[in-house]
């Protein structure tokens, strides 16, 4: 068995995952994990996630001496948060199984004859093979080696590729986020993508203003829906800075704060509710002078501030860069792959798995788990099919 990798090391994505800490999977039952995916993806993933589950991933790590911990929101990490430890486990498995590894080798295509795989095309020639596990990942973060080659090969042998789109990516907005806001985080807010007054997606958590526009978990989570809808019509991004408080409740709170500090200017009062670098522009947008003292602030002005705290338009989607996504949405159509074996239904001997498939889960360890589960099944099926073939040839 041969593993071909264009980089000078295996598992580059794992090494950069979770900011180098590797959020390997998510805690909960398999059904809990499946619920995090879109319905068609969830149905497809069901057999492979049951075959090699999140518990199996954790057990594998623990058995190899890597303790794990469940962090907030159910995310599972190696205890000491070192992605290299995870790769040490996988590389150890490859060594134990005596898998040959050919690094620095870029594959250029898959050779197919009469509807069946016959080899892998590399720069130095064709490597004969009747079973090929296609695990080339997506097309984001191309510098890590994932330049979308697998999609092109799959298409060239007859697979349908569901159009590729950004997912878990920062959102660039128009007008651009002011430079002065870069680095500011909005904690515990709700970010929504809205089109023609209809909310397409929303996520609660943190938003980060960055040189890329809107980043942080909320922006990444709604980016897939925003990217898709943006192709058809303008999409607005709106933040609710206090998702747990109703308008009237927040209005009463601000009213009380103003009453308690009647001589204080509203700009200073709002410092308690907003990052202070934002306050001035925030008030400008609702035509309230930041120097207005509490005792002269009108009810209308106060309600305009609250309205904006609850529904702050952060701009129209300008671009969602696919190459900056943690995953790529779209890929090999799921109905063309058998979910119980990962066998291609188009080409005999091909086993697509991982991100090259039309699967993209949320943040939280779901994407690595999907790659582990489908990869496990692909490898297992390819090996069993190979054995069967040999047995038939040499009874």
CA distance 127 to 122: 7
Per residue in 284-318, is it b (16+ CB within 10 Å) or e — as a string? eebebebebbbeebeeebbbbbbebbbebebbebe
- State yes or no: residue 12 binds ligand FAD (CB under 6 A): yes
Q: How far is the CB of 178 from ligand FAD (least distance, A)?
A: 26
Among 52, 141, 151, 282, binds ligand FAD (CB under 6 A): 141
Of 149 and 251, nearer to ligand FAD (C-beta) is: 149
Say if residues 375 and 60 touch (Cβ distance below 8 Å). no
Say if residues 30 and 128 touch (Cβ distance below 8 Å). no
- State yes or no: residue 135 binds ligand FAD (CB under 6 A): yes
- State yes or no: residue 136 binds ligand FAD (CB under 6 A): yes
Among 1, 3, 7, 386, binds ligand FAD (CB under 6 A): 7
Among 205, 267, 315, 365, binds ligand FAD (CB under 6 A): 365
Hey, which residues does 236 pair with through a beta bridge?
A: 194, 316
Residues 337-356 that bind ligand FAD (CB under 6 A): 354-355
Among 86, 225, 368, 382, binds ligand FAD (CB under 6 A): 368
- State yes or no: residue 293 binds ligand FAD (CB under 6 A): no
Helix axes 54-63, 366-393, angle to 10 degrees: 80
Among 16, 87, 201, 318, binds ligand FAD (CB under 6 A): 16
Give the other-Cβ count within 10 Å of 246's Cβ.
Answer: 10
- State yes or no: residue 149 binds ligand FAD (CB under 6 A): yes
Q: Which stretch binds ligand FAD (CB under 6 A): 31-39, 64-72, 142-150, 387-395?
A: 142-150
- State yes or no: residue 210 binds ligand FAD (CB under 6 A): no
Residue 381, burial from CB neighbour count under 10 angstroms (0-12, 13-18, 19+) = buried
Of 105 and 118, nearer to ligand FAD (C-beta) is: 105
Strands (DSSP E) found in 182-272: 185-195, 198-210, 213-215, 236-240
Q: Which stretch binds ligand FAD (CB under 6 A): 41-49, 93-101, 134-142, 277-285?
A: 134-142
Residue 394, burial from CB neighbour count under 10 angstroms (0-12, 13-18, 19+) = exposed
Q: How many residues can be counted in the chain?
A: 395
- State yes or no: residue 88 binds ligand FAD (CB under 6 A): no
- State yes or no: residue 326 binds ligand FAD (CB under 6 A): yes
Give the other-Cβ count within 10 Å of 212's Cβ.
Answer: 17
Q: Kindly give the pairing relationship between strand 350-352 and strand 132-134.
A: parallel
Q: How far is the CB of 321 from ligand FAD (least distance, A)?
A: 12
- State yes or no: residue 327 binds ligand FAD (CB under 6 A): yes
Q: How far is the CB of 5 from ligand FAD (least distance, A)?
A: 5
Q: Kindly give the pairing relationship between strand 125-128 and strand 116-122.
A: antiparallel
3-state DSSP assignment of residue 11: coil
Q: Kindly give the pairing relationship between strand 236-240 and strand 312-319.
A: antiparallel
CA distance 35 to 150: 27
- State yes or no: residue 106 binds ligand FAD (CB under 6 A): yes
Q: How far is the CB of 367 from ligand FAD (least distance, A)?
A: 3
Among 146, 215, 223, 344, binds ligand FAD (CB under 6 A): 146
Among 145, 255, 275, 321, binds ligand FAD (CB under 6 A): 145
- Contacts with ligand FAD, residue ranges (CB under 6 A): 4-7, 12-13, 16-18, 22-23, 106-107, 135-137, 140-141, 145-146, 149, 326-327, 354-355, 365-368, 371
């Amino acid at each position: 068995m041969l593993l071909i990798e264009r980089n000078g090391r295996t598992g580059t994505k794992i090494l950069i995952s979770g900011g180098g800490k590797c959020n390997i999977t998510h805690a909960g039952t398999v059904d809990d994990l499946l619920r995090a995916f879109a319905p068609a993806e969830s149905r497809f993933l069901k057999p492979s996630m049951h075959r090699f589950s999140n518990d199996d991933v954790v057990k594998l790590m623990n058995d190899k001496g890597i303790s794990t911990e469940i962090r907030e929101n159910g995310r599972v990490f190696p205890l000491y948060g070192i992605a290299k430890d995870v790769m040490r486990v996988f590389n150890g498995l490859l060594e134990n199984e005596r898998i040959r590894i050919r690094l620095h080798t870029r594959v250029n295509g898959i050779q197919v004859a009469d509807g069946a795989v016959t080899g892998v095309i590399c720069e130095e020639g064709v490597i004969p093979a009747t079973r090929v596990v296609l695990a080339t990942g997506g097309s984001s973060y191309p510098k890590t080696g994932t330049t979308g080659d697998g999609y092109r090969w799959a298409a060239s042998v007859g697979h349908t590729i569901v159009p590729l789109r950004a997912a878990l990516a920062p959102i660039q907005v128009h007008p651009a986020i002011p430079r002065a806001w870069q680095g500011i985080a909005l904690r515990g807010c709700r970010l929504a993508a809205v089109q023609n007054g209809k909310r397409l997606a929303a996520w609660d958590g943190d938003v980060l203003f960055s040189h890329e526009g809107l980043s942080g978990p909320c922006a990444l989570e709604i980016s897939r829906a925003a990217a898709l809808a943006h192709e058809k019509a303008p999409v607005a991004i709106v933040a609710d800075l206090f998702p747990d408080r109703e308008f009237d409740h927040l209005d009463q709170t601000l009213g009380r704060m103003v009453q308690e500090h009647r001589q204080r200017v509203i700009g200073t009062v709002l410092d308690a509710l907003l990052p202070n670098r934002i306050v001035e522009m925030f008030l400008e947008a609702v035509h309230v002078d930041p120097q207005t003292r509490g005792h002269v602030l009108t009810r209308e002005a106060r309600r305009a501030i609250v309205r904006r705290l609850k529904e702050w338009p952060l701009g129209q989607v300008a671009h969602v860069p696919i190459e900056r996504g943690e995953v790529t949405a779209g890929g090999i159509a799921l109905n063309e792959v058998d979910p119980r074996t990962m066998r291609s239904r188009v080409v005999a001997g091909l086993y697509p798995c991982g991100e090259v498939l039309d699967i993209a889960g949320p943040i939280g360890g779901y994407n690595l788990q999907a790659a582990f589960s489908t990869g496990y099944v692909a490898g297992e099926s390819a090996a069993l099919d190979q054995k069967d073939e040999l047995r038939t040839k040499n009874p």
